[in-house]
């Protein structure tokens, strides 16, 4: 595949924590086979030259600067204070379920989207506009190797989302409220610690990251319990086990299957010399099934307590939204499990989305019956 590949837990963890590995400078030309194709695309999407790289693809010090501006909103203490608001959203979603529902669209998508929208300060139902475009943008994450063939669709969707966030920024500038967007606008306007383009790209990243991984965690977790019904009664008897169960859901069906890193200088990992400029693909899903790290790794064990998987990465790029995703899933399953006997799966096979990088159930139909 033109890249080195790491599949074991030890090597993946070592590279993620090693400052000698990072991200290559953003180069939009890499998406195209010729300069002519690139220039044609630029004429169609002139704003591409104005776009700021997202924090996820930056190295220190730029990465540290942008992460520092938003990290306080996602600390475990701040996130835990959101518990009552998240519980209220969960209660509303469960109350609105019809006799037949889809776990993915009705719960897995809705809960994270509503929570991150409230945290950011998006207008009511703003996520309904953003999510369809975000789903198109996510096509670009299908593989870090040959880029997506749907670049026109991806960039058009990105422009529409950016324009939406720009309109929200204008509203917050005129009438600031107690939310993350207003805080970042104030930082931009009073301290100048990020550019307008960086502000937009950061909001886009926060929405995508706050929604996508949580959606897959919830959907995959529901799938794990449905295929392991012997796990349900122990969790119903002892809800305190749900925290470990959520961690096991993340390990057993890893939402982000792989990430890429570039060697910023020559490095040696497990006797393998990696030259400066070489790319390494880290298969997190494989690392989370490494028998040298997890006993009986293919088994789904809700009481497994062998340490955290690499599902949210580690090191300086550890997912900011990890505590929020954990809490959302915990609250949802705490509310769902007492009612599990009222759910019946439809006799249709479960399909996963066709995406190499993002692992998630595409649809999981259920019906409700009287207990």
- How far is residue 264 from each of residues 145, 163, 227, 270, 277, measured CA to CA in Å? 19, 34, 43, 18, 6
Q: Which of 6, 52, 73, 209 is catalytic?
A: 209
Active site residue 319: yes
328 is catalytic: yes
Q: What is the span of the domain harbouring residue 253?
A: 4-368
Summarised one tens digit per residue, pLDDT across range 237-272 is 999 999 999 999 999 999 999 999 999 999 999 999
171 catalytic residue (yes or no): no
What end-to-end distance do the CA atoms of the chain give, in Å?
A: 52
- From 117, 214, 311, 313, active-site residue: 214
pLDDT of residue 145: 42
Active site residue 214: yes
Q: Return the pLDDT at 141.
A: 67
Q: Residue 120 is part of a domain; what is its CATH number?
A: 1.10.630.10
Of 317, 287, 356, 311, nearest to 145 by C-alpha is 356
Enumerate the β-bridge partners of residue 283: 258
| Nearest CA-CA partner of 246 in 361, 323, 168 | 323
Sheet with 258-263, side-by-side order of all strands: 4-6, 279-283, 258-263, 21-22
Q: How many structural domains is the chain composed of? A: 1
Work out whether strand 351-352 and strand 365-368 pair parallel, antiparallel, or are unpaired.
unpaired
The pLDDT score that the predictor gives to residue 264 is 95
The residue to which tokens 């086990």 are assigned: 241
| DSSP E strands, the chain | 4-6, 21-22, 100-102, 258-263, 267-269, 272-274, 279-283, 343-345, 351-352, 361-363, 365-368
Question: Dihedral of the CA atoms 17, 21, 26, 28 (nearest 10)?
Answer: -110
Report how far residue 333's alpha carbon sits from residue 244's, in angstroms, rounded to the nearest whole number.
Answer: 12
- In 10 A of CB 316, how many CB atoms? 14
Choosing from 212, 248, 253, 311, the catalytic residue is 212
Please write the tens of the pLDDT for every residue from 343-368: 887 777 788 988 888 999 999 988 88
Catalytic residue among 12, 117, 328, 329: 328
The reported pLDDT for the residue numbered 200 is 93
Look up 87 and say whether it is catalytic: no
Q: How many residues does the chain have?
A: 371
User: Which residue among 319, 322, 325, 329 is the active-site one?
Assistant: 319
- Pick out the chain residues at pLDDT < 50: 144-146, 148
User: What pLDDT does residue 257 have?
Assistant: 94
The pLDDT value given to residue 144: 47
Q: Please state whether the peptide bond connecting residue 61 to the residue before it is cis, i.e. omega within 30 degrees of 0.
A: yes
């Amino acid at each position: 595949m033109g890249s080195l590949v790491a599949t074991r837990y030890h090597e993946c963890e070592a590279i993620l924590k090693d400052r000698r590995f990072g991200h290559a400078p953003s180069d939009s030309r890499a998406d195209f086979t010729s300069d002519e194709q690139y220039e044609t695309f630029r004429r169609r999407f002139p704003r591409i030259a104005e776009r700021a790289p997202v924090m996820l693809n930056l190295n220190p010090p730029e990465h540290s600067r942008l992460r520092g501006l938003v990290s306080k909103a996602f600390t475990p203490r701040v996130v835990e204070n959101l518990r009552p608001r998240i519980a209220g959203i969960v209660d509303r979603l469960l109350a609105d379920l019809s006799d037949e529902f889809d776990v993915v669209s009705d719960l897995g998508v809705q809960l994270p989207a509503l929570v991150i929208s409230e945290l950011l300060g998006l207008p009511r139902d703003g996520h309904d506009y953003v999510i369809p475009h975000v789903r198109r943008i996510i096509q670009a994450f299908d593989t870090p190797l040959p880029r997506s063939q749907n670049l026109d669709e991806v960039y058009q969707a990105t422009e529409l989302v950016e324009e939406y966030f720009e309109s929200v920024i204008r509203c917050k500038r005129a009438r600031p409220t107690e939310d993350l967007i207003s805080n970042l606008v104030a930082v931009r306007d009073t301290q100048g610690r990020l550019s307008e383009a960086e502000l937009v790209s950061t909001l886009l990243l926060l929405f995508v990251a706050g929604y996508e991984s949580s959606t897959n965690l919830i959907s995959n977790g529901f799938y794990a319990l449905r295929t392991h019904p012997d796990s349900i009664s122990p969790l119903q008897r002892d809800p305190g086990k749900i925290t470990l169960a959520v961690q096991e859901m993340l390990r057993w069906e890893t939402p982000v299957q792989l990430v890429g890193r570039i060697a910023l200088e020559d490095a040696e990992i497990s006797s393998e010399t990696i030259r400066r400029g070489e790319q390494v693909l880290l298969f997190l899903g494989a690392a989370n099934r490494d028998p040298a790290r997890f006993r009986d790794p293919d088994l789904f064990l809700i009481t497994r307590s062998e340490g955290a998987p690499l599902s949210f990465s580690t090191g300086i790029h550890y997912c900011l939204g990890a505590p929020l995703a954990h809490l959302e899933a915990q609250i949802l399953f705490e509310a769902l499990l007492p009612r599990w006997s009222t759910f019946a799966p439809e006799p249709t096979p479960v399909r996963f989305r066709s995406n190499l990088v993002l692992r998630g159930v595409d649809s999981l139909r259920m019906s409700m019956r009287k207990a």
